[in-house]
Amino acid sequence: MMQSGKMKKIVVFGGGTGLSTLLRGLKKFPVELTAIVTVADDGGSSGRLLDQYNIPPPGDIRQVMAALSDVEPLIEKMFQYRFATSDDLKGHSLGNLMLAALTDITGDFARAIEKMGRVLNIKGKVLPAANQRITLHAELDDGTIVTGESKIPVYGSKIRRVYLSPQEVEPLPETVEAIQQADLIIFGPGSLYTSILPTILVRDIRDAVVAASAKKIYIGNLTTQAGETYRYTASEHVKALHDHAETNFIDTVLLNGTDLSAELQAEGLSGQVWQVENDIEVLREIVPRIFIEPISIVTDGRVIHDADRVASWVMDFIENETAR
C-alpha cells in the first residue's frame, strides 16, 4: 500500500494502438506511469531499421511516446509523420528515424528513448521490454513454426504458443524496479500474441510480475483478431496469459459490457468483426474478480476502447484498493 498523498504507480504492458489508447486516458490523471513496450515488431519501417541499423524496432515505442507526449499537436503530428513519396524514405515515420539516429548517437536504444522522452515532454517513462534485438516465434496448432511478428497473423492457424530468441534476455534494471514498486500492473488491451505476451516472455520480467504485490489487471479486447485470436472468448485470452507465464497471475479482469451488434451492423462490419464473448462462468474459475463496464465506442468503422472511461475506471479501482 502507498502512503496517503503519494501518487499511485501504474505499470502498463503491451504495444500498438491498444496500449496507446489507454495511456492517452491515464496521462490525464496524477499518477506515475511506466509503459513496458514490446520490441518484437519486424514489419514496415521498424523492420527496415532493424535490418539497416541493428537496433530494436522502434515502432511500438514511437506510438506510446506520442500518446504520452505533452507538446504542441503539430510536434506530435510531425513525430508520427510517415513519408510517402521518396523511395529511400517511403514508409518510414519521422519518429522511427529520430529514435534510430539517437540510438546511433548515444550507442544505446534505452538511452535514446529517454532522451527523446525529454524532447517530447512525455508523462511517465517508456521502457523497452528488451534493450536488444529479439525475434518472436509462434508454434501453430499443426506444429508449424512461424518466425517474425509480422508473419504470425498471416497464417490464419490457431496459435499454440509464442516464444523469443534469444531465450535469455536481460531486461533493464529500471523495468524490474518499476514492477516491484507498482501499485497496479495492467496488461492490455492490444494484440494478445504479438503485443502483450512478448513483454512477459522475458524471464526476469515475468518473475517480477508474478512476485509483485500489486494488483494485476487484464483489460479485455473488444473484438477478436484474425490470425491471432479469431473467435477467442474472454477466458481464452486470460488463459493464454497464464499459460505463457506458467502460473495464474491475473487477479482482476475488466470486460466490455456493451453489445456492439447494432453498431457493427450500422458500420457494415457484421460478419467481419467478432465481439469477444464474455464467458463469465469459465472466467470465474481462473480469475477472482471480474468487472463488466461499457468501455467501447465505434467510430470511423473501428471498434475502440473509450480511453477516458477506461482510465476513470482504473483510477476508481486503484483508489478503492489502496484505501483498504
Per-residue pLDDT tens digits for 237-250: 999 999 999 999 99
Q: How far is 15 from 27, CA to CA, in rounded Å?
A: 16
Amino acid letter, 267: E
* CATH number, domain 1-40+134-324, options 3.30.390.30, 3.10.20.30, 3.40.50.10680, 3.75.10.10: 3.40.50.10680
Measure CA 186 to chain center.
Answer: 9
Domain boundaries, the chain: 1-40+134-324, 42-128
Q: pLDDT tens digit string along 178-237?
A: 999 999 999 989 999 999 999 999 999 999 999 999 999 999 999 999 889 988 999 999
Mean pLDDT of 58-79: 87
Q: How far is CA 116 from CA 24, 57, 61, 101, in A?
A: 18, 15, 11, 11
The 10s digit of each residue's pLDDT in 3-43 is: 456 899 999 999 888 899 999 999 999 999 999 999 886 65
How, if at all, do strands 32-37 and 9-14 pair? parallel
What is the predicted pLDDT for the residue at 307?
A: 95
Angle at 48 between CA 69 and CA 17, to 5 degrees: 35
pLDDT band at 47 (very low <50, low <70, confident <90, very high): low
pLDDT at 1 over 50: no
Residue-wise pLDDT for 99-129, tens only, equals: 989 998 999 999 999 999 999 999 999 999 9
